[in-house]
Amino acid sequence: MNIAILASGNGSNLQALIDAEKAGDLSTGRIVLVLSDKKEAFALKRAARAGIETEVQEKDLFSCRKEYDGELLRKLERRKIDLIVLAGFMRILSIEVVKAYSGKILNVHPALLPAFKGGNAIREAYDYGVKVTGVTVHLVDEEVDTGPILAQEVVRVTQDQGIDGLEEAIHKAEHDLYPKVVRDFIDKKYEVEGRKTRYLK
């Protein structure tokens, strides 16, 4: 099962997935490509350090999303990618990519969807004053942060932790949850019917 991980930033979730694969905890999953839209993404360094092929595909070289995603698809198809794992990829995938990899794109979001969609979820949940927030792993559909939910983990907001403490707790929850869900997804433990997913024990 060839996996491509798409990441724009730090890549701590990528790291958790790399570590899981190394520990034999990613089933038949092999991370064969890490692609970033940002050449300065630390995720690229993590991938290189782990001996994983990297690609940078910056948006400026393309006139529109369709062109960008056409090239993205060619890169994925060239490596015979079976599964796309988004790990902090800050671009919206077009319908062409979503259709080509229908039901085979996973994302992790740092809140309990459908609350706090979008790119600033931890801060928005914190500022809203919620007492619990968390992490969601979901399939990607044509819209942003709306696909069927595979798993969620609750993170409590404590009185004195501040935004930094909350961020740390959320990322820890992501690093625990995401590799497990990716592994179980590869092992076909999730049945998906419309919006509903079921975990087969």
- Residues engaged in binding ligand GRF (CB under 6 A): 7, 9-14, 87-88, 108-110, 174
For ligand GRF, the closer CB: 81 or 108:
108
Rounded to 5 degrees, φ, ψ at 154 are -85, 140
Q: Report in angstroms how near the CB of residue 201 gets to ligand GRF at its nearest.
A: 26
Residue nearest to ligand GRF (CB): 88
For ligand GRF, the closer CB: 49 or 198:
49
DSSP code of residue 131: S
For ligand GRF, the closer CB: 14 or 63:
14
Which SS3 state, helix, strand or coil, does residue 143 take? coil
- The neighbouring-strand residues paired with 105 are 84
Which SS3 state, helix, strand or coil, does residue 160 take? coil
Q: Report in angstroms how near the CB of residue 93 gets to ligand GRF at its nearest.
A: 13
The token duo for 182 is 């990716």
CA distance 129 to 116: 12
Give all strands (DSSP E) within the chain, no chain letters.
2-6, 30-36, 54-56, 83-86, 105-109, 132-139, 149-156, 190-193, 196-199
For ligand GRF, the closer CB: 42 or 62:
42
Q: Report in angstroms how near the CB of residue 111 gets to ligand GRF at its nearest.
A: 8
CA distance 201 to 190: 9
Q: Report in angstroms how near the CB of residue 16 gets to ligand GRF at its nearest.
A: 8
Pick the closest to residue 151 from 190, 102, 101 (CA basis): 190
Active site annotation includes 171: no
For ligand GRF, the closer CB: 11 or 147:
11
Q: Report in angstroms how near the CB of residue 18 gets to ligand GRF at its nearest.
A: 11
Burial class (CB in 10 A: 0-12, 13-18, 19+), 159: exposed
Catalytic residues: 109
